[in-house]
Amino acid sequence: MLPLFNPYVIGPSERAELNEHGHLLLPGLLTLPAREVLVAALGRIAALHEAHGPELSGDRLPGKYAAEYDSFLAGLIGHPQLLALARTFLGDEIRYDHCVALNRAAAHPGMRWHSHEYSDADARLKFLRIFFYVNGFAADDGGLKVVPGSHLFRDSKITADTDADLAARWLEGKRHPSTGQPLRMERLSAPPGSVILMWTHALHGVTPRRAGSDTRWTVVYAYRNPGQPSRARWLSEEFERSQIPGTEGLMSLY
């Protein structure tokens, strides 16, 4: 099996960082062979989207159902290294939720501020997104924007079109529930091969991709503790019944 991750350590400081900030950057975690195959797979998804996207319903676009359109991406769902990373933070009882291609071509406009839902009222059930930033990103070029501590509000309805809009409508007066410090926006940068873990309620956005930049190749794998319905569980009934090695018990809803 293709090695997915370089050696890494998750200790108390890394656990504390994810739980306090809502995200954790693991720079250069992806192996070079994995990065090369991921670029090819995500390139196939991008080509499918461009060629056949208009013929498919909005709920079946290749980017949103990426693993269902590529055998390599599907095979990663049950990859031992990926499952071990997810279980480090979620515990042993997990379910696969979705695999989405988040490729950003040159001049892509970025993404507005938003958060996601899962078991909003019960913090015992967790939902983790694991982003593969295959060729990385700069803070001002398809970069990830975050608000450390925002996940602790478990507010899945936060949206804002601009930084100024977010500051005026949601951030103003809010403090980190653990540290007591005022909440603030941050712009991340990530070297090639980076992986970022993010709790689903963490507020985030994406800066525009520069006109002269190459495509930012990105895919996200999401896992969760079972117990509540997930509106982001994007998989067909056929794919749910598929027998991908390592996915035994991962596909079911509960």
* 94, 233, 253, 155 alpha-carbon torsion, rounded to 10°: 70
Give the right CATH number for 35-240 from 2.60.120.620, 3.40.50.150, 3.40.50.920, 1.10.645.10.
2.60.120.620
Supply the pTM of this predicted model.
Answer: 0.96
Q: What is the pLDDT of residues 112-123, one digit of tens each?
A: 999 999 999 999
DSSP 8-class letter at 175:
B
Q: What is the pLDDT of residues 204-251, one digit of tens each?
A: 999 999 999 999 999 999 999 999 999 999 999 999 998 899 999 999
For residue 43, the model assigns a pLDDT of 97
For residue 110, the model assigns a pLDDT of 96
Locate the domains of the chain by residue range: 35-240
For residue 211, the model assigns a pLDDT of 97
For residue 53, the model assigns a pLDDT of 63
What stretches in the chain show pLDDT beneath 70? Answer: 53-59
For residue 50, the model assigns a pLDDT of 86
CA-nearest of 51, 200, 230, 34 to 252 is: 230
**Cα distance between residue 77 and residue 247, in whole Å:** 7
Strands 218-224 and 127-133: antiparallel
